[in-house]
Chain A
């Protein structure tokens, strides 16, 4: 079974700082990897999708990388803002189980003004 781990569990940074969130997974037979943002009590908003054949994806201040062989992905947030405060979730689509998504428990980010 695919296991997905996100480190750190919580992170607090001053506004303007660049930061990196980490996601690791145990089975490299993945179909894709998706990063989501979740505000308290709300649904999941898709941030970036990386296909298994890709190395990275960028959207605005966000950049996600994927290293399938080492089972790792990172989400880089540049020039953080208070509005970035949320929980960030990593989801891995597994090839071996019909592209079921396996989730990490998330990183709770607080950006201090």
Chain B
């Protein structure tokens, strides 16, 4: 089983719909992250969490919200999806000491 698991792997949704992307990890790490990847723009940070009670906005948080339900679970929500949120979304974790990042396989989201 993968250390960082994202569900769903692919999703097509309509403009205006609410959608949730889920991430779970078995690494035992406190730190979790959500990124989006767009062609030519690289990965950009949406939100990050250093523990269950610590949630921080990243570079591009507008239009997104997150929930850290437990140390192992971190969900990303799009309250009202719009077409320019079409992207590849990645969840990642890292440990406090070495800071090495581990990524999930990604969720390809298409908003039509």
Which A residues touch B98, using CB under 8 A? 32, 49, 51
Which B81-105 residues sit within 8 Å CB-CB of chain A? 88, 90, 92, 94, 98-105
Let me know if B106 and A100 touch, CB within 8 A: no
Which A79-113 residues sit within 8 Å CB-CB of chain B? 89, 91, 93, 98-101, 103-106
Complex alpha-carbon distance, A105 and B41, angstroms? 6
Interface size on B, residues (CB 8 A): 27
Does A43 sit within 8 A of B, measured CB to CB?
yes
Which A residues touch B64, using CB under 8 A? none
Let me know if B42 and A42 touch, CB within 8 A: no
Q: Chain B interface mostly helix, strand, loop or mixed?
A: strand
A90 to chain B: closest residue by CB? B42
Q: Give the contacting residue for B58; candidates A34, A44, A46, A100; CB below 8 A.
A: A100
Let me know if B104 and A46 touch, CB within 8 A: no
Which of B12-20, B43-51, B72-80 makes up part of the contact surface? B43-51
Q: How far is the CB of A105 from chain B (nearest CB, A)?
A: 4
Which B residues touch A76, using CB under 8 A? none
Interface string of A12-39 (1 = CB under 8 A from B): 0000000000000000000110101000
Excluding A43-B90, A100-B48, A103-B43, 16 further A-B contacts by CB distance (< 8 Å) are: A31-B99, A32-B98, A34-B101, A36-B103, A45-B103, A46-B100, A46-B101, A49-B98, A89-B43, A91-B43, A93-B94, A93-B101, A101-B94, A103-B42, A105-B40, A105-B42
Q: Which B residues are closer than 8 A to A by beta carbons?
A: 31, 33, 35, 40-45, 48, 50, 56, 58, 88, 90, 92, 94, 98-106, 108
